[in-house]
């Protein structure tokens, strides 16, 4: 029987420098990429604030759409679902006879609790949830000090890591992928289905921040060239006037920190 690995995408919406994806391809006959639009991320908080606003929701939809296009260019797709991962993933494991599930470990409490719930349910099915770290510049084993001894002051951390730590090279972007056969890969949600109504009126039609790996790499390229030119042409510019504005793409993992 062929080995199938389910690749659960979260805040890692890219093909480049994606260890989770590279290892899944290497260790399986077929992969099943999955993204879940979790309704809990679009609710009001207990403080009556909006957890995910319309602008961020649109950016997320664009990012997942771009990832879908990347997979389609490789002859496959990504399964898009609406619901709680702990309810959806175990069912997918049974339906497609999945051997293992891969995902990137998050650090925030809500995301960690969801991972734990998924792991517990998969364990009952005798299926392993393998964790990866893909949102940091340095791997923890490459730091020049134990995690418990990380400096409290960032300047000290920066000096020590720049001097003694190693930034590992990026993983290559997959050129070939074999996908699990899926009859219906699902549709991207409309913005109106995710965003809170009072937020929709404030969203602009045009923005310099368009979600997705393709736009992230383009923005990085433009910044590295244009930003350097700005600094050389105008020595009076302050450091905070030459900013990368890469954080939206880094936050969703459309761009690797490396």
Domains, the chain, in order of start with CATH, read 4-136+153-200 (3.40.50.620)
3-state secondary structure of 103: strand
> Within 10 Å of residue 168's Cβ, how many Cβ atoms?
13
User: Which pTM value belongs to this model?
Assistant: 0.89
**Alpha carbons 61 and 251: distance in angstroms, whole number:** 14
212 conformational bin, left if phi > 0, alpha if psi -120 to 50, beta if neither: left
The whole-number pLDDT of residue 148 equals 85
Q: What is the pLDDT of residue 21?
A: 97
Residues in a beta bridge with 102: 7, 130
Residue 66, CA distances (Å) to 62, 125, 145, 229, 233 in order = 6, 32, 38, 29, 35
Q: Quick one: which of 131, 95, 91 has its CA closest to 115?
A: 131
- Residue 44 is predicted with a pLDDT of 82
Exposure pattern of 4-16 as b/e (b: 16+ CB <10 Å)?
bbbbbbbbbbbbb
Q: What is the number of other CB atoms lying within 10 angstroms of the CB of residue 26? A: 9
| pLDDT for the residue 108 | 86
Please identify every stretch of the chain with a pLDDT value under 50, giving residue numbers as ranges: 231-233
Tens-place pLDDT, residues 185-227: 999 999 888 876 656 666 666 677 899 999 999 988 888 877 5
Helix axis angle, 213-222 to 54-73, nearest 10°: 100
Burial 39-65 (b: 16+ CB within 10 A, else e): eeebeeeeeeebebbbbbbbbbbbbbb
The whole-number pLDDT of residue 178 equals 97
Residue 235's pLDDT is what? 52
Closest CA to 34 of 108, 170, 129: 129
Instruction: Give the three-state DSSP class for 126.
Output: coil
For 23-45, the pLDDT digits (tens) are 999 999 999 999 999 999 988 88
- Which pLDDT score, from 0 to 100, does residue 206 have? 65
């Amino acid at each position: 029987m062929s080995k199938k690995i389910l690749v659960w995408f979260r805040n890692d919406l890219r093909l480049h420098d994606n260890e989770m994806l590279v290892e899944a391809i290497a260790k399986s006959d077929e992969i099943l990429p999955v993204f879940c639009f979790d309704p809990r991320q679009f609710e009001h908080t207990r403080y009556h604030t909006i957890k995910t606003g319309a602008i961020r929701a649109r950016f997320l939809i664009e990012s997942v759409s771009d990832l879908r296009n990347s997979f389609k260019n490789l002859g496959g797709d990504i399964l898009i679902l609406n619901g709680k991962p702990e309810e959806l993933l175990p069912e997918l494991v049974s339906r497609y006879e999945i051997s293992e599930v891969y995902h990137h470990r998050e650090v925030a409490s809500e995301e960690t609790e969801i991972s734990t719930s998924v792991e517990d349910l998969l364990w009952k099915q005798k299926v392993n949830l393998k964790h990866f770290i893909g949102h940091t510049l340095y791997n923890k084993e490459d730091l020049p000090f134990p995690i418990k001894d990380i400096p409290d002051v960032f300047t000290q951390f920066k000096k020590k890591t720049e001097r003694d730590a190693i930034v590992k090279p990026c993983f290559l972007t997959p050129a070939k992928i074999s996908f699990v056969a899926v009859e219906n890969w699902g549709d991207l949600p409309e913005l109106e289905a995710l965003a809170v109504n009072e937020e929709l009126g404030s969203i602009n039609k045009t923005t310099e921040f368009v979600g997705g790996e393709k736009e992230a790499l383009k923005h990085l390229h433009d910044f590295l060239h244009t930003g350097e030119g700005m600094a050389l042409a105008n020595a009076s510019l302050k450091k905070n006037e030459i900013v990368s504005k890469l954080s939206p793409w880094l936050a969703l993992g459309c761009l690797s920190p490396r």
